[in-house]
């Protein structure tokens, strides 16, 4: 059984990837500092898989911790999620983001190359495209100047990995540029667990429906879209998790010891914010208290992916719908509210 290190493995996307790795016969090992996650996630993972995973609690800036992990486990690959991820916070505190996201990746790459760990799946983002000139966004779409320090750390991360590969390091890596992850595990045992006020749309929707928030403000009602609200490519987190596992398998089968590439991971379909709200109301049976407000600075008007490359190379495609994601997100929220 191959050991795979998942940094940020107790986080939203990381925890769902842990489940898919287990289902595909991998042994997942978690590294997390629990600064933006909760240890209750480990109980949820146990309920789903029946397994207690090895967990290392610590900071990705600590190279001695990576050395310890690689010494104690025969690691075959790394899936790297651990990073600060709030756009607004990155604008307010850019040095925190550059220190954590950029220096943390440097630390990981140094330790991986030193210990000859050759497979790396990197968590990137569609933020690298900014506001695209045309849709859908392909991997050939131009990279725009980032709208935030967070987005810039994703661009820098991709560049650092590519430069490391070009230097002759024995490293095979793919950056997955994914769009808007939503939903939860269908069991309701794990899901998105924001600390404080949510930064993302769906947990704000579910918390409003559960009475934890008074109302939801939809930012912008005069965009050039069918209903005036922003368009996003919402992908179920389990589809996204599966893409990471298929990406790891793809890397394992590449003969070239030096390889870097990037792929879009989305549904290929754009939905407006009001589409998402309507889907939630249909799935939950609850009328959501929301209001239309002014545009929010920095928001992209519309973006959705072309996913031909990932479908072809990874033999992967999405299985869940927007309605599925809203149903699962609401079941997760109801479980949280009952605890």
Q: What are phi and psi of 173, to 5 degrees?
A: -145, 145
| Burial profile 58-74: b = 16 or more Cβ within 10 angstroms, e = fewer | bebbeeebbeebbeeee
Question: Distance between CA atoms of 44 and 276, rounded to whole angstroms?
Answer: 26
Neighbours of 290 (CB within 10 A): 17
Q: Is 129 a catalytic residue?
A: no
Q: Side-chain half-sphere of 238: how many Cα atoms within 13 Å?
A: 20
By C-alpha distance, which of 108, 17, 18, 96 is closest to 60?
A: 108
Residue 161, SS3 per DSSP:
helix
Contact 85/13 with Cβ under 8 angstroms? no
What strand order describes the sheet that includes 27-32? 54-57, 27-32, 3-7, 75-80, 119-125, 172-178, 259-265
Residue 168, SS3 per DSSP:
coil
Contact 301/223 with Cβ under 8 angstroms? yes
DSSP string, 223-251: SSSSSSS-EE-EEEHHHHHHHHHHHHHHH
- Type and span of the H or E element at 278: helix 273-284
Q: Active site residue: 129, 150, 178, 250, which one?
A: 150
By C-alpha distance, which of 290, 185, 162 is closest to 241?
A: 185
Catalytic site positions = 150
């Amino acid at each position: 059984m191959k050991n795979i290190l998942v940094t940020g493995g107790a986080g939203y996307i990381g925890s769902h990837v842990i489940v898919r790795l287990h289902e595909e016969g991998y042994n997942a090992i978690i590294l997390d500092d629990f600064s933006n996650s909760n240890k209750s996630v480990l109980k949820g993972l146990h309920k789903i898989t029946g397994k207690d995973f090895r967990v290392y609690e610590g900071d990705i800036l600590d190279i001695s911790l990576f050395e310890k992990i690689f010494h104690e486990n025969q690691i075959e690959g790394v899936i790297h999620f651990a990073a600060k991820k709030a756009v607004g916070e990155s604008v307010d505190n850019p040095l925190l983001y550059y220190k954590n996201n950029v220096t943390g990746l440097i630390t990981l790459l140094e330790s991986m190359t030193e210990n000859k760990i050759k497979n790396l799946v990197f968590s990137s983002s569609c933020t690298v495209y900014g506001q695209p000139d045309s849709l859908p966004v392909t991997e050939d779409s131009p990279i725009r100047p980032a709208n935030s320090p967070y987005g810039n750390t994703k661009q820098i991360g991709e560049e650092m990995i590519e430069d490391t590969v070009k230097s002759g390091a024995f490293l095979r890596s793919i950056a997955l540029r994914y769009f808007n992850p939503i939903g939860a595990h269908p069991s309701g045992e794990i899901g998105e667990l924001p600390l404080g006020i949510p930064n993302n749309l769906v947990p704000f929707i579910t918390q409003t429906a559960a009475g934890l928030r008074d109302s939801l403000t939809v930012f912008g009602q005069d965009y050039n879209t069918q209903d005036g609200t922003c368009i996003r490519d919402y992908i179920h987190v389990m589809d996204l998790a599966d893409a990471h596992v298929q990406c790891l398998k793809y890397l394992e089968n590449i003969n070239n010891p030096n390889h870097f590439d990037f792929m879009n991971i989305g549904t290929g379909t754009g939905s407006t914010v009001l589409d998402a709200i309507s889907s939630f109301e249909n799935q939950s049976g609850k009328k959501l208290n929301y209001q239309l407000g002014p545009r929010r600075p920095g928001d992209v008007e519309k973006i959705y992916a072309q996913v031909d490359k990932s479908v072809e190379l990874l033999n992967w495609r999405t299985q869940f719908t927007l309605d599925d994601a809203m149903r699962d997100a609401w079941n997760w929220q109801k479980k949280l509210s009952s605890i």
